[in-house]
Amino acid sequence: MTTMLMRAIPSSGEMVPAIGLGTWQAFDVGPSAGERAPRRDVLQRFLAAGGRIVDSSPMYGKSEAVVGELADELGVVDQLWVATKVWTSGRDAGIAQMERSLKLLRKAPLDLMQVHNLLDCRTHLATMRRWKEEGLIRYIGITHYTASGYDALERVLRTEPVDFVQLNYSLEEREAEEHLLPLAHDRGVAVLVNRPFAAGGLFRAVRNRQLPGDAEALGCTSWAEVFLKWILGHPVVTCVIPATSNPDHLVDNMRAGLGLLPDERTRARIAERLANA
């Protein structure tokens, strides 16, 4: 049986699945059974397919609470590798927000705390280092979702010891290849990839188009698999975190972590075909 691709966190050597689950918009729902049922199904299928890493944020509305409540109902809190973020200004406000996140997500210690979009970054990193020493969190990181934040990400990566950087990277948004991915490799920092479908832009670009010729050799049956395998073909990427509340899309995404990945030449061919569309 083919198993999920695993990648090492450079700072510890811990192995984690290469396909994770984002929660932006997808898990920001109310308490009704109709709203919760597909998210519960997504979590169940995610774990059954070999997934573990779930990423959230206080910025994502009710997502932290929904993840925590569903995981508790399913009895899978300990099976999840949970990441969230701090997104506020000031030391005390940061501490209060992080404490609330731990309660909502029902996970202690929390696996990863990240400074969301670098807001008051050094203040929160100082708190997070102390929390890591105290065993409240296991890893610390920084995030951004657009190339406009890359210069700031680079400055922090060069001057602060962090375990993770989360950034956008896809066939439509490749700027991270220039400096940040090589820097993460050099600094021994794990890479979480957000916006793997460029907020849906990639699907719009290939609407009604056949899969590339390399798809069959890679075992891909959908464009989602092609896009995700292309990202994972970069050896510096630790985990990609597509968000979905659709159980069928979840299954499709998870298949990208199985089987072969494109080598450098194949990745170039796929990128060229998309550019010439």
Instruction: Please write the tens of the pLDDT for every residue from 219-271.
Output: 999 999 999 999 999 999 999 999 999 999 999 999 999 999 999 999 999 99
pLDDT reading at 25 higher than 60: yes
Contact between residue 191 and residue 157 where contact means Cβ atoms under 8 Å apart: no
Radius of gyration, alpha carbons of the chain = 18
The pLDDT confidence band at residue 277, using thresholds 50, 70 and 90, is low
Matching residue, tokens 């927000």: 97
Domains along the chain?
16-206+235-259 (3.20.20.100)
d(CA 222, CA 94): 41
d(CA 61, CA 23): 10
What pLDDT shows up at residue 142? 98
Instruction: Please write the tens of the pLDDT for every residue from 70-86.
Output: 999 999 999 999 999 99
Q: Pick from 67, 17, 65, 24: which is nearest to 42 by CA? A: 67
pLDDT reading at 1 higher than 60: no
Secondary structure of the chain: what % helix, strand, coil (to 5)?
Answer: 50, 15, 35
CA-based angle 195:15:172, to the nearest 5? 20
What pLDDT shows up at residue 208? 85
Mean pLDDT score, 15-32: 95
Q: How crowded is residue 7: how many other Cβ atoms within 10 Å of its Cβ?
A: 19
Instruction: Please write the tens of the pLDDT for every residue from 192-206.
Output: 999 999 999 999 999
